[in-house]
Structure 1
Amino acid sequence: MVIDCLILIKPWLEKILSGEKDMELRGSCTHKRGVIGLIESGSRKIKGFATVSDCLELDKETFDGSVERHQIQGDVWDKLPYKRKFGWILKNPVRLEKPINYMHPWGAVIWVKVDLPVEVKNGKMYIEGREIGERVEG
């Protein structure tokens, strides 16, 4: 099954997989929903999975009130590299005990599509017997 995988730098990836962070800040909205892979930038390895449940456009007040969710500390609103700011909401992180290697396509910087050995049983998705989330159509 082909899964969309999000590329993240290690500190943010670790916070997502540990459950400390459930909002990934980006400069555009995502319409993706459901299970995604989580890739550590530069590693060529899928380190885990999470479920994208929503995408919210953020204003400064909402950003400042969501520090515990996005984990970006300090007065940085005007320093962020995005004209518009969006919080991608990530739920149910699953860290893989053994990361999955993949072939990284040239030029990919945000998303990579990876064909993975996913099993679907009763609407739930599994890799190597471990549940990674619910299947979402579309």
Structure 2
Amino acid sequence: MKIAKGLIIADPWIGYILDGTKDWEMRSSVTSHRGWFGLIRKGTGAVYGVARLTDVGRPLSPVEMMAAYEHHRIPDHMVRSGEVAKWNTPWVLADVRGLSRPVSYKHKSGAVTWVELDEAATEGLASALRGIKSFDSRATDQLSEAFVEKSQSEALSQPSAEPRRPISPAVMIFESRWIGEIEINEANLRNNHFYLRPLIDRFPADVIGGSNKASAARREVTIDWGGPKPVQTDIDGKDKKFFRARGWIGAFYRLNGAQAGDVVVIEETAPYRYRVRVQKVGVVGGGS
């Protein structure tokens, strides 16, 4: 099967799609396209996976956006602030497939919603998908018909208390795992850090290093924190027991409006990859 279109999606949103925790891509307008397309990670010039666009909903109000957090993963504070007001139209995704190796493409100049993939990219994508045993476009289409999606209005009027699973299975070799929560205090906010002391045993031993860069761990983890780029770091596990790279944490606190008493929630989304978010005081299961 030939996949000729691609959609550029920034981090952390493309990461959420690929790990199966986001099945709505929020856009500023509708599209007539339905079917398969490539998931392009913004700024990389490469396709990292594919998905099937099954439906496009109507524009959502801020209240509806906040009720649908488990679909789009946009924190409430970003909705309330108006910074994502333009991107209120849900594109419903299914059958996400991640690639073991990204496929490069030649990006033509000009601002467009859909990227037309060049011949080399479409061939490379087809070759990569043949390596995924469970990828069969005919079988997938038949399977998807068995997963009947609720209407947008019904789904929004009855928000689930549990995180919503994708309506059809994605190819994943890892299931997200809750690591734990760390309460933020005033010193954390002043010094741009949070301690991992009660959770240190839940991280792989080979990412825990000594007290300085000279004794850094053999491996690093990737942290998806909601900013423009994920962070690569090991853990200072001898004395301080926090992420060694801390330049992002101040921006992370500001992005989420963090205050003393809020908690940092840490989830493992793939081997050596973690997502962090701030849960506000008195908000259970919220995105910020």
| TM-score, structure 2 normalization | 0.41
**1:17-36 equivalences in 2 (<5 Å):** 17-36=18-37
Unaligned runs of 5+ in 1: 120-125
Question: Larger deviation: 1-10 or 97-106?
Answer: 1-10
Query: How many angstroms does 1:101 deviate by?
Result: 0.8
Higher helix share: 2
Instruction: State the partner residue of 1:11.
Output: 12
Unaligned runs of 5+ in 2: 142-288
Q: 2:70 aligns with which of 45, 68, 73?
A: 68
Q: Which runs of 4+ in 1 moved over 3 A?
A: 132-136
When the two structures are aligned, how many residues end up with a matched partner? 129
Question: Larger deviation: 42-51 or 103-112?
Answer: 103-112
Preserved CA contact (<8 Å) 1:94 1:132? no
Query: How many angstroms does 1:127 deviate by?
Result: 2.7
Name the SS for the 1:15 alignment partner.
Answer: helix
Report 1 or 2 for greater relative contact order, CA contacts < 8 Å, sequence distance ≥ 6: 1
Asked if 1:92 corresponds to 2:100, the answer is no
CA deviation vs aligned residue, 1:69-97 (integer Å, no higher than 9, x gap): 00011141533241x72000111111000
**1:28-67 equivalences in 2 (<5 Å):** 28-57=29-58, 58-67=60-69
Preserved CA contact (<8 Å) 1:6 1:38? yes
Instruction: State the partner residue of 1:79.
Output: 83
Query: How many angstroms does 1:132 deviate by?
Result: 6.5
Instruction: State the partner residue of 2:104.
Output: 101
How far apart in 2 are the matches of 1:53 and 1:29? 12
Preserved CA contact (<8 Å) 1:49 1:132? no
How far apart in 2 are the matches of 1:87 and 1:108? 21
How far apart in 1 are the matches of 2:136 and 2:46? 16
Higher strand share: 1
How far apart in 1 are the matches of 2:57 and 2:110? 27
How far apart in 1 are the matches of 2:31 and 2:137? 19
Instruction: State the partner residue of 2:113.
Output: 110
How far apart in 2 are the matches of 1:105 and 1:132? 30
How far apart in 2 are the matches of 1:90 and 1:2? 15
Code of the aligned partner of 2:97: V
Code of the aligned partner of 2:57: L
**Bigger-Rg structure (1/2):** 2
| TM-score, structure 1 normalization | 0.81
CA deviation vs aligned residue, 1:32-74 (integer Å, no higher than 9, x gap): 1111100011101000000000111123332221100000111
Question: What RMSD in Å do the two structures reach over aligned CA positions?
Answer: 2.3
Preserved CA contact (<8 Å) 1:46 1:101? yes
Q: Closer, same or farther in 2 for the Cα pair 1:8/1:111, shift >3 Å?
A: same
Preserved CA contact (<8 Å) 2:28 2:89? yes
Aligned-residue sequence identity (percent) comes to 30
Code of the aligned partner of 2:8: I
Name the SS for the 1:10 alignment partner.
Answer: coil
